[in-house]
Structure 1
């Protein structure tokens, strides 16, 4: 077997490639809870049980794994170790498969792309990664990925700075309703069903688009204005909204309420729509009579001119 990696002048192993990460939910539809959602995750070395390697390679993998930066929760990454030419026009790419979930994962048939430092695609191949076995939670497993000349678009491969990445398929998942836990627990089943039916019958957002749709606006007796909006995420990635400046216009087209809302970890999953009620206190609502027979609400830039 070829050496897994070349060494620096000081004799220590060297990472020749860079790292790429994907969401575990996008890749495997898997997530795990963490005590702190923003907590970084260090990964421990995990050698495949069928691999027999020398003590020197064991030390080198351990050293390189310690050099890898922490991952965020719910990430899978490929961290490039070495890229070497073998016989018969084959190239062996060695990389860590890193898992930041709390639980074991197993990969299956997946398309991988080889990229240069500018993200130019150098090669592409669909591989059966089930052979990498079960990868424990919070671990890094070194694995060999073989590319042939037929898989590569060039023979001029960089010695360093390259990346191996998962190529995610565009989501074919049907746009669906997503509810915050508080809504899931408090909303009647018939109301959930109505919302789900409405979301499914609406034209979904364009790929990558995030938009807002008004559902209900009610002026309460105390003067507060309750506006329920549907936050629609057409992206194939989860999004988290922290601050939303909203403006409401009534049937006359006049601005009747305007204010900023700070949200606490408000996540809208990929290809879903999530309802939320924004409450404008009386002091942010127009004192004049409001006609809510028709209305619209939308996010505005803080510096926008009207």
Structure 2
């Protein structure tokens, strides 16, 4: 059975209403028939530096540990790749049958200028 886990720093810093929202979204998902990796978008925004922040729930429904060591992600809107970056995050390790919220930050130089921040999603590219 899939469980929800918060990374240690998130667990200490997350606001109660945000935790409740994530727990609610997680409880409404049906992940029982999957044996891989899924991403559920929670929010997206651009910060004051122009970086793209995409918060997702990462679902590792496999029997293997998931890490983000050289993992390529695309941010897509209207079937167009609008941001593309390779993430190496040694602290992000997700156990089997575990879901975890995370915010991926795309550097400014990896983002197309016409990002609308509406109906976007992340796509994990496995090599």
Q: Scaled by the length of structure 1, what TM-score is found?
A: 0.38
SS in 1 for 2:26: helix
Partner of 2:103: 277
Q: Give the C-alpha shift of residue 291 in structure 1.
A: 1.7
Closer, same or farther: CA 181–204 of 1 in aligned 2, 3 Å? same
- Equivalences for residues 8-23 of structure 1 within 5 A: none
Partner of 2:43: 216
SS in 2 for 1:193: helix
SS in 2 for 1:185: helix
Q: Give the C-alpha shift of residue 205 in structure 1.
A: 4.8
- Equivalences for residues 13-162 of structure 1 within 5 A: none
Rounded Cα–Cα distance in structure 2 between residues aligned with 1:193 and 1:265: 24
Partner of 1:198: 25
**Structure with greater Cα Rg:** 1
SS in 2 for 1:279: strand
Any unmatched runs of 5+ in structure 2? none
Q: Give the C-alpha shift of residue 209 in structure 1.
A: 2.0
Closer, same or farther: CA 182–235 of 1 in aligned 2, 3 Å? same
Q: How many residues align?
A: 127
- Which structure is richer in relative contact order (CA contacts within 8 A, separation 6 or more)? 2
Rounded Cα–Cα distance in structure 2 between residues aligned with 1:224 and 1:184: 24
SS in 2 for 1:257: strand
The answer on whether the counterparts of 1:205 and 1:232 sit within 8 Å (CA) in structure 2 is no
Q: Give the C-alpha shift of residue 296 in structure 1.
A: 1.5
The answer on whether the counterparts of 2:71 and 2:126 sit within 8 Å (CA) in structure 1 is no
Any unmatched runs of 5+ in structure 1? 1-172
Q: Give the C-alpha shift of residue 236 in structure 1.
A: 4.2
Q: Give the C-alpha shift of residue 222 in structure 1.
A: 2.2
Question: 1:299 aligned to 2:124?
Answer: yes
SS in 2 for 1:235: coil
Give 1 or 2: higher strand fraction.
2
Rounded Cα–Cα distance in structure 2 between residues aligned with 1:203 and 1:256: 28
Q: Scaled by the length of structure 2, what TM-score is found?
A: 0.86
SS in 1 for 2:48: coil
